[in-house]
Structure 1
Amino acid sequence: MKLMQALKAKLLRAFAKRMKGKFVYAAAQFPLLTVAEEYIPTAWGPARALFYWPNVQSTQPLPVYLNLHGGGFVAGVPEHDDSYCRRLAHNLGCLVVNLDYVLAPEHPFPAGLRQSFAVLEWLAEQAATLGIDPQRMAVGGHSAGGNLATGVANLARGHQRLRVVHQLIDYAVLDLTQDPALKVSSLDKPLLGAGLVRFFNSCYLSDSAQARDPLVSPLLATVGELQGMPATTLITAEHDILRGEGEAYAEKLRQAGVPVNERMFAGCDHMFTHLGPDDSAEQAWQLIEDGLREAFGEAAKEVGVNPVNALA
């Protein structure tokens, strides 16, 4: 690991930790039973996670949503998504697990992805103790977290002990083979610039050839390789330099027979769900909530659970 690379990563993390979202919900708006910090054993060390427990009366096992924050695989903390996790846990009656996965360059690919998947497996193994339903799991993320989320969903296909019924991909990087300079925006100075993306990629990949792995660049997966992926909510922003690869991935998923609810938010840039415009951010979070509700409800019917009680 190069010294200057490591120093720049630490500076970005310090800056990211001080960042505050412009569009957030008040905690009192979505009251919960509790929010608990847990440490989950993994091969990459204990993974810190925030567990958002809904205050529900149902005796049915709860569905689970695993949330992966953004930050270019290098920075970011789960606390950036705190108010949205509260909303989803409250409105959907599900357990939300907001993961603090390991970061690059100290932990390059595939560490963050594999640790995220290991956490999903741990949740399934502890399902009876936790009171959750491993057949009604969903995974999603924002920016780099969206890349990790679709990788986790890919790894989960055909799993004997768990089932991912929905994936959320929110303005994600999905093709690390393309020169970031070729990823254009209609703005002169978009929030996410080519130089920053190039730095993120250099931290995440210990070998540039890894970019051709579909678990790194999901857009490179063939249509056949995407068959059996879960139903998808995919969000892009008009001015985001990652818009093109998001739209291309949505189309490839559809070609593979995957149900995709895709929306491009006009007038918005990268991270708009956290930075606004407020109306667009609210619409995006409602879209996410609706996608998860439908997926959990349909899965509940398949396993014989009353979806009304399950999502009370």
Structure 2
Amino acid sequence: MSLVKTLKAKLLRALAKRMKGKFVYAAAQFPLRAVAEEQIPTAWGPARALFYWPHTPSQEPLPVYLNLHGGGFVAGVPEHDDSYCRRLAHNLGCLVVNLDYVLAPEHPFPAGLRQSFAVLEWLAEQAAALGIDPQRIAVGGHSAGGNLATGVANLARGHQRLRVVHQLIDYAVLDLAQDPGLKLSSLDKPLLGAGLVRFFNSCYLSDPAQARDPLVSPLLATVDELRGMPPATLITAEYDILRGEGEAYAEKLRQAGVPVNERMFAGCDHMFTHLGPDDSADQAWQLMEDGLRGAFQVGVGEQVGVNIAAAL
């Protein structure tokens, strides 16, 4: 890890922390019972997480959505997703856990992914104390966070104590093996440029050969390796240089028998869910909300069926 790379990463983080979304929801729109900061112990150090607790009249265990912010594996903070997490917690009556996972280059692959998965396992272990349902967990993320989310969903398959019922993949980077210079946009200057993506990749991977690992580049997984993945809501943007790999991944998931609700948002670029256009951003958040609602409702039905079968 070079000093220059570390200093550049820290500069990007400082800039990212000052960034404000152009499209946000007012907190008063979506009142919550509480928002709390937690420190979750993991083998990769304590993970800071924001917990968004909804007002719910029922005493039934809550479903959970684990949110992973963007930032190229290098920058970004969970606070960038604050207003959207409030919306999802309020409208869905679920606990939203907004994670501040470890960043590269200080913590290259697989640290951020493995820490995120460790948080998922911690939630399952603490399910009774937290009042949550470990069989109704969804994961999702934006850009690099979308990459981590589908990696977490992959690792969770067949887990004995938890179940991921849905994955939200929002304009994610899904192929780190392809030269970013070959990822094209019809815009002369798209928001995400090849040079920045190369820097992100060089920070995240301590060895370029890791780019071929399906946990780094989910698009490179075989169809057989994707069987059994949870249903997905997958969003791409017309002008985003990551659009092609998002569409290709959606098709590969479908070939593996995974239900995918895919939408490409015309006239939009990378990060449009945070930067607008406002109408498109709101539609995208509604799409994500609908995907989670359907998954959580299906999860309830399946669990009821299991309980009835066990009683017979």
TM-score range, shorter chain: over 0.9
Q: Does 1:72 align with 2:72?
A: yes
CA distance in structure 2 between the aligned counterparts of 1:49 and 1:21, rounded to whole angstroms = 20
Letter of the aligned partner of 1:283 in structure 2?
Answer: Q
Q: Does 1:36 align with 2:36?
A: yes
5 Å-filtered alignment, 1:281-292, equals: 281-292=281-292
Counterpart of 1:45 in structure 2 is 45
Counterpart of 2:196 in structure 1 is 196
Question: What residue ranges of structure 2 are gaps of 5+ in the alignment?
Answer: 306-312
The superposition leaves residues 55-113 of structure 1 with CA deviations (integer Å, 9 ceiling, x where unpaired) of 10111100000000000000000000000000000000000000000000000000000
The superposition leaves residues 128-147 of structure 1 with CA deviations (integer Å, 9 ceiling, x where unpaired) of 00000000000000000000
CA distance in structure 2 between the aligned counterparts of 1:208 and 1:275, rounded to whole angstroms = 32
Q: Does 1:259 align with 2:271?
A: no
Q: Does 1:86 align with 2:86?
A: yes
Counterpart of 1:304 in structure 2 is 304
Counterpart of 1:236 in structure 2 is 236
Moved over 2 A (4+): none
What SS does the corresponding residue of 1:211 show, helix, strand or coil? helix
Question: What residue ranges of structure 1 are gaps of 5+ in the alignment?
Answer: 306-312
The superposition leaves residues 264-288 of structure 1 with CA deviations (integer Å, 9 ceiling, x where unpaired) of 0000000000000000000000000
Letter of the aligned partner of 1:227 in structure 2?
Answer: R
What SS does the corresponding residue of 2:172 show, helix, strand or coil? coil
The superposition leaves residues 124-181 of structure 1 with CA deviations (integer Å, 9 ceiling, x where unpaired) of 0000000000000000000000000000000000000000000000000000000000
Letter of the aligned partner of 2:149 in structure 1?
Answer: A
CA distance in structure 2 between the aligned counterparts of 1:224 and 1:100, rounded to whole angstroms = 32
The superposition leaves residues 12-43 of structure 1 with CA deviations (integer Å, 9 ceiling, x where unpaired) of 00000000000000000000000000000001
Letter of the aligned partner of 2:3 in structure 1?
Answer: L
Q: Does 1:225 align with 2:225?
A: yes
CA distance in structure 2 between the aligned counterparts of 1:114 and 1:57, rounded to whole angstroms = 35
Letter of the aligned partner of 1:196 in structure 2?
Answer: L
Letter of the aligned partner of 1:206 in structure 2?
Answer: S
Letter of the aligned partner of 1:108 in structure 2?
Answer: P
5 Å-filtered alignment, 1:19-168, equals: 19-168=19-168
How many positions carry a matched residue from both structures? Answer: 305
Q: 1:236: Cα distance to partner? A: 0.1
CA distance in structure 2 between the aligned counterparts of 1:58 and 1:127, rounded to whole angstroms = 16
What SS does the corresponding residue of 1:270 show, helix, strand or coil? coil
Q: Does 1:182 align with 2:182?
A: yes
Identity of aligned residues (%): 89
TM-score, normalised to structure 2's length? 0.97
CA distance in structure 2 between the aligned counterparts of 1:32 and 1:83, rounded to whole angstroms = 11
CA distance in structure 1 between the aligned counterparts of 2:65 and 2:275, rounded to whole angstroms = 23
Q: 1:304: Cα distance to partner? A: 1.4
Counterpart of 2:308 in structure 1 is none
Letter of the aligned partner of 1:265 in structure 2?
Answer: F
